[in-house]
Structure 1
Amino acid sequence: MKRAIFLASVAFTVSAYAAPVRPAITGVSHLSVYSADMAKSDAFYTHHLGAVKRPDPEDAKGVRYYFNARQFVEVLPLPANAGINRMDHGAFNTADAEGLRAYLAANKIAVPKAVTKASDGSKYFRVKDPEGNTIEFIEAPKSLPDIPAVSPSNRMIHFGMIVHSQAAEDPFYRKLLGFKPYWFGGMTSENPTWISSQVPEGHEWVEYMIVSGPEKTGIPASMPQATAGVLNHFALGVGNMEKTVTLLTEGERISEKNDGPKIGRDGKWQFNMYDPDGTRAEFMEFHAATKPCCSPFTASDPEE
Structure 2
Amino acid sequence: MGGIAFLGAGSFGTALAVMLAKKGANVDIWDRKEEVIEDINVKRENIKYLPNIIIPSNVKALSDLNKVIKDNKYIVLSVPSHAIKDICNSIKEFITEDKIVISIAKGIDEVSEKRLSEVIEETLQISGVAVLSGPSHAEEVALDIPTTVVVSSKHMEYAKEVQDLFMTNKFRVYTNDDIIGVEIGGAVKNIIALAAGISDGIGYGDNTKAALMTRGMSEIVRIGMKIGGRRETFYGLTGMGDLIVTCTSMHSRNRRAGILIGKGVATDEACKEIGMVVEGVKACRAFYNLSSKLEVSMPITEALYKVLFNGLDPKYGVYDLMTRDKKDEV
Same fold (TM over 0.5): no
Query: Of Structure 1 and Structure 2, which has the larger fraction of its residues in strand?
Result: 1
Structure-1-length-normalised TM-score: 0.28
Q: Which has the higher contact order (CA 8 A, sep 6+)?
A: 1
Structure-2-length-normalised TM-score: 0.26
